[in-house]
Amino acid sequence: MESNELIRELIERVAGDVGLIIYSLRPRREFTDEQMSEELGIEINDVRKALFALYELGLAEYRRKRDDETGWMEYYWKINYDKQNEVLRRELLKTKRKLEEKLEMEESSIYYICINGCVKISYEEAMEYNFMCPRCGSMLEYFDTSIIVEKVREEIEKIDEMLNSLK
């Protein structure tokens, strides 16, 4: 997956459709949330929410200025397209760490699952319940995590490839 697809996916997940629209417009100059709201015909609260989500990611910045006539604070926004790879790298590394933790957990533990799909519990917990489901009372069966382990490893490899492509 190329970096433009990745950043679009990340923005959509974090800032929603409105954030993706704002980012895709590629505004070159500063703008206010009110200007963007009017230009797009989108509620100002939705625009603000999306802009603050982009800010949290590090893809937007703002400055505040008091309007001399109304006394209200105006927010002037700027989208930081030059930080795209930095943001992607940070988010990919965060995801990779979570996957590595999951991999370690799956590799180091033995799990049992309810035959009805109610629960997945550790061997120790299964022993406490006499290998009976704590929810429905059905028998617990050994759960082979090798498929999960393989999938997690594949995901980590994909992330490594993406990280290498961002260099």
**Residues 45 and 91 sit within 8 Å (Cβ to Cβ):** no
Q: How many domains does the chain have?
A: 2
**Residues 19 and 12 sit within 8 Å (Cβ to Cβ):** yes
pLDDT value, residue 87: 97
Alpha helix stretches (DSSP H) within the chain: 3-25, 33-40, 44-57, 84-108, 123-128, 146-165
**Is the same domain home to 129 and 144?**
yes
Helix (H, G, I), strand (E, B) or coil at 134: coil
**Is the same domain home to 57 and 17?**
yes
Domain that holds residue 24: 3-79
Residue at which a domain ends, from 26, 49, 79: 79
**Is the same domain home to 10 and 71?**
yes
Residue at which a domain ends, from 44, 63, 79: 79
pLDDT value, residue 1: 62
Instruction: Give the pLDDT means over successive 10-residue stretches in the chain (167 positions).
Output: 88 97 94 96 98 98 94 95 96 97 96 96 97 97 96 97 88
The CA distance from 4 to 28, in Å, is 18
Helix (H, G, I), strand (E, B) or coil at 139: strand
**Is the same domain home to 68 and 97?**
no
Prediction pTM value: 0.80
**Residues 112 and 126 sit within 8 Å (Cβ to Cβ):** yes
**Residues 33 and 77 sit within 8 Å (Cβ to Cβ):** yes
**Is the same domain home to 28 and 55?**
yes
